[in-house]
Amino acid sequence: MHLPSGDPRIMPLPELTGYADPLLHSQGLYIDGQWLPRRGVPVVNPSTGDTLTEIADAGIADATAAIDAAAGAAPGWRATPARHRAEILRRWFHLMTEHADALATLISLENGKTLADARGEVAYAAEFFRWYSEEASRIQGEYRRTPSGSHTILVDHEPIGIAVLITPWNFPAAMAARKIAPALAAGCTVVLKPALETPLTACAMARLGEEAGVPPGVVNVLTTQSPGELTNAMLADARVRKLSFTGSTSVGRLLLAEAGRHVISCSMELGGNAPFIIMDDADLDAALDGAMVAKMRNAGEACTAANRFYVQAGIHDAFVEGLTARMARLRVGAGYDPRTQCGPMITPAAVQKIDRLVSSAVRHGAQATTGGAPLQGPGFFYPPTVLVNVPAAAAISQEEIFGPVAPVYRFDTEDEMVTMANNTEYGLAAYLYTRDIPRAMRLGKRLETGMLGINRGLVSDPAAPFGGVKQSGLGREGGVTGILEFTEPKYYAVDF
């Protein structure tokens, strides 16, 4: 038993049940349909700080072997009829669904998120396989006469080629699925490099893909302690044509520069700093429900997490009171304990960062109405926290908190709110609560964001284009456009 004691919200570590699915025990490098079982890098359970297991540390030679495998499989896969590719993706969806409980437990073990969140993630991840199994055979071309009538324009969307996929730890299944499914649907082969903190989920998913009938070499998985070195080597390989990255803006900038040297197409899903806006006329209970979802899904470790709550003066005090009561009631504990409502942070460094942001805001005049200081480990816990009277200039207003902390700011006018909401380098998601829909649409046009939840605390959906503006990224994942990120238009100028 390693969880902190003394806090009534902390629950004891339960027996680890439900993790007996042998299909999900594959670990190692997955190259050309072979599992290469190697060890050396510990995978830590953030609920306890203990080591769960060890995984492989791929080197440059492994990266080359993975690109060789992807290149070898590419001609066969792009020539495979779309319908056949779709059927494999569909089987992958069904396998994810059948193994959902074990997969959710695995995610919870290595990531720390609650079982409820992990189950939600598995369902969300599986849906990308279903959605892109449907889209695989619907990629549209173009046919038109030139305006001058000189000739006919035909446009075909071809698979772009070998894609390197890099994913973060916060949604280890969903971020992998959101890239693999459209890439395979488009006819591309891939090398997936999951985050070091959550490699087991990626391996389990690859194993399910294998079971679904994905041919050897179409999906390869590399786990490594040297992501920069390995990725740079892959980007320097002329056979690689696509980089699809989800992670922090700082790493995204490095990768864009590296990809630029080799003129490789990039899709970038980067950081966020979402404003959650509540107008005076909002339905208070609905806004509180939405706030809890937007803030506390994944214990705040989400790129779309509400990072700043802007509340109009007339509803401010009632909102703070309601939010404080709800946050204070949440049970903190090991992610895989079914009673837990707020799991641990991913690493001790994550707890330290949250502590730094909260302490600095408090030093500059903010007050915590609940929470406000880290919980003692082992296990990496920060309690649900609400901050009021937060100065607009505080670091917490500018940086991604990535934790269960809700800073609340009061505003009077729409103009004041829009200025504050847009005062960030990010532009991924925003949320707006008002009963006045024309007002919501009017304000929506002024908010610099890729996605806006109107009277909703959750925007993600496999059928919608997910992505941001400004420093939050380039390109969109999901929806109809997501598959086009893995294609290149080829134009035929035809004189019949």
Cβ pair 256, 268 in contact under 8 A: yes
Residue 247 as a binder of ligand NAD (CB under 6 A): the answer is: yes
| Residues near ligand NAD (CB under 6 A), total | 28
Q: What are the helix (H) ranges across 399-436?
A: 414-422
Using CB under 6 A, pick the residue from 165, 181, 270, 332 that binds ligand NAD.
270
Helix (H) or strand (E) holding 102: helix 100-111
243 is a contact residue toward ligand NAD (CB under 6 A)? no
- Choose the binding region for ligand NAD from 16-24, 193-201, 289-297, 431-439 (rule: CB under 6 A): 193-201
Contact pick of 26, 48, 231, 307 for ligand NAD (by CB under 6 A): 231
Q: Is 496 exposed, middle or buried (0-12, 13-18, 19+ CB in 10 A)?
A: exposed
By beta-carbon proximity to ligand NAD, the closer residue of 247 and 379 is: 247
Q: How far apart are CA 90 and CA 132, in angstroms?
A: 8
31 contributes a contact to ligand NAD by CB under 6 A: no
- Given the structure tokens 């649409």, which residue do they identify? 441
Which 159-178 positions form the footprint of ligand NAD (CB under 6 A)?
Answer: 166-171, 175
Q: Residues 294 to 333: which contact ligand NAD by CB under 6 A?
A: 303
- Cβ proximity to ligand NAD: between 196 and 291 the closer is 196
> Does the annotation mark 229 as catalytic?
no
In whole angstroms, give the CA distance from residue 383 to residue 333. Answer: 10
Q: How far is the CB of 243 from ligand NAD (least distance, A)?
A: 9
The contact mask relative to ligand NAD for 376-415 (x = CB under 6 A, - = no) is ------------------------x---------------
- Nearer to ligand NAD (CB atom), residue 279 or residue 447: 447
Kindly tell me the number of DSSP H helices and DSSP E strands found in the chain. Answer: 14, 20
Q: CB–CB of 428/468 below 8 Å?
A: yes
Q: Which of residues 439-468 bind ligand NAD (CB under 6 A)?
A: 468
State which of residues 115, 125, 190, 195 lies at the interface with ligand NAD (CB under 6 A): 195
Nearest 10 degrees: CA dihedral of 311, 406, 107, 104? Answer: -50
Instruction: Give the CA radius of gyration of the chain.
Output: 23
Catalytic residue of the set 110, 269, 301, 477 = 269
Q: What share of the chain is helix, strand, coil (3-state, %, to 5)?
A: 40, 20, 40
State the residues that interact with ligand NAD by CB under 6 A. 166-171, 175, 193, 195-196, 227-228, 231, 246-248, 251, 254-255, 269-272, 303, 400, 428, 468, 473
